[in-house]
């Protein structure tokens, strides 16, 4: 997990424990979505990344998660929790909330031309 349940609940102003299981699902989902968007594996710390590199499971450009990526994940979770669906902008539908792409793009590995 790239963010804790406690941090998610603080960010989204959630006091109850009634939705903890759903929030855990959103935490995992948002982390996976961030990795897929970035085209790279994320790791919680250097030790975890080094182990994955040693085990040949780190991918081409592994990255220890940084605060802007965690913030983007928190935004994704908050948006999904509050709206229980995708964000509609005009006539297009985007899966990443406003501001999230900006936070993630500087760490993204883009496919070759």
- In the 3-class helix/strand/coil scheme, how is 52-64 assigned residue by residue? HHHCCCCCCCCEE
Q: CA 106, CA 69: separation in Å to the nearest integer?
A: 10
Domain boundaries, the chain: 5-105
Report residue 17's pLDDT band, with 50, 70 and 90 as the boundaries.
very high
pLDDT tens per residue, range 60-95 = 999 999 999 999 999 999 999 998 755 545 544 356
Q: What's the token pair of residue 66?
A: 């940084």
Which H/E stretch holds residue 70? helix 67-83
Burial label for 60, CB within 10 Å (0-12, 13-18, 19+), is exposed
């Amino acid at each position: 997990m790239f963010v804790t349940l406690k941090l998610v609940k603080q960010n989204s102003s959630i006091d109850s424990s009634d939705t903890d299981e759903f929030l855990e699902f959103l935490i995992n989902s948002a982390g996976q979505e961030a990795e897929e968007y970035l085209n790279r594996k994320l790791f919680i710390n250097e030790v975890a990344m080094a182990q994955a590199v040693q085990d040949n499971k780190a991918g081409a450009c592994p990255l220890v998660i940084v605060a802007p990526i965690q913030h983007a994940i928190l935004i994704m979770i908050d948006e999904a929790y509050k709206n229980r669906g995708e964000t509609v902008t005009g006539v297009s539908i985007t899966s990443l909330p406003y501001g999230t792409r900006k936070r993630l793009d500087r760490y993204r590995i883009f496919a070759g031309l």
